[in-house]
Amino acid sequence: MWPAAGLLGLAAILPSGPAARASEDAPEAGTPLEVQPIAEAQEVQPGAVVHLEFTLHDESGALLEDNRGRPPLVFTHGKGEVIPGLERALTGMKVGDTKRITVPPEDGYGPVDPTSITEVPKERVPAEAQVVGARLLGQTRSGREVPVRVREIRDGIVVLDLNHPLAGKTLVFEVRVILVEPP
């Protein structure tokens, strides 16, 4: 048996070698080996690397994101790499499990912070970005780049929103655990 058979926590590779080849159940040369899940290695737990397929809708049902048919979302569970409400709800799920998870703003991207709305002179915003809803990168006084959204345009003023685009929104995830690599 290969010593690396369960490295990813995916499966145990069935025996190979002379003894297995002699068996009537052994696959013929060139035939893919059957793989069997290792249940205890597939539970979402702190430190595990999780591969996730998901769709994300807002509370009204509008589709916000969908990674089905594309590479999965991959993150280390318990490291804060995904929003807290999603991470908590995934704990204990196993490979193949599906779940509908509703995440309120306080467990997602937080409430809308009114102090994160600022006004800048119109001449400091490129003309092509002077459209309500336009997204651009702003720069703080310390030089750090931050994503911003044009919220409003008034006489000589552009109102910019520095909140995350999903702040204040209840998020609805439909998830399927694709793979869990043990910690």
Written out in words, the top-level CATH class of the domain with range 114-161 is mainly beta
pTM: 0.68
| Contacts for 49 with CB less than 8 Å, ≥ 6 apart | 74, 75, 76, 77, 180, 181
What pLDDT, on a 0 to 100 scale, did the predictor assign at position 16?
36
Domain ranges of the chain: 41-110+167-181, 114-161
Comparing 41-110+167-181 with 114-161, is the CATH topology the same?
A: no
Domain 41-110+167-181 has CATH 1.10.540.10: no
Q: How far apart are CA 39 and CA 12, in angstroms?
A: 11
Query: Reading across the β-sheet that carries 117-121, which strands appear in turn?
Result: 117-121, 157-161, 145-154, 135-139
What pLDDT, on a 0 to 100 scale, did the predictor assign at position 3?
31
pLDDT in tens, 73-97: 999 999 999 999 999 999 999 999 9
pLDDT in tens, 37-82: 554 458 999 999 999 999 999 999 999 999 999 999 999 999 999 9
What pLDDT, on a 0 to 100 scale, did the predictor assign at position 146?
85
What pLDDT, on a 0 to 100 scale, did the predictor assign at position 14?
31
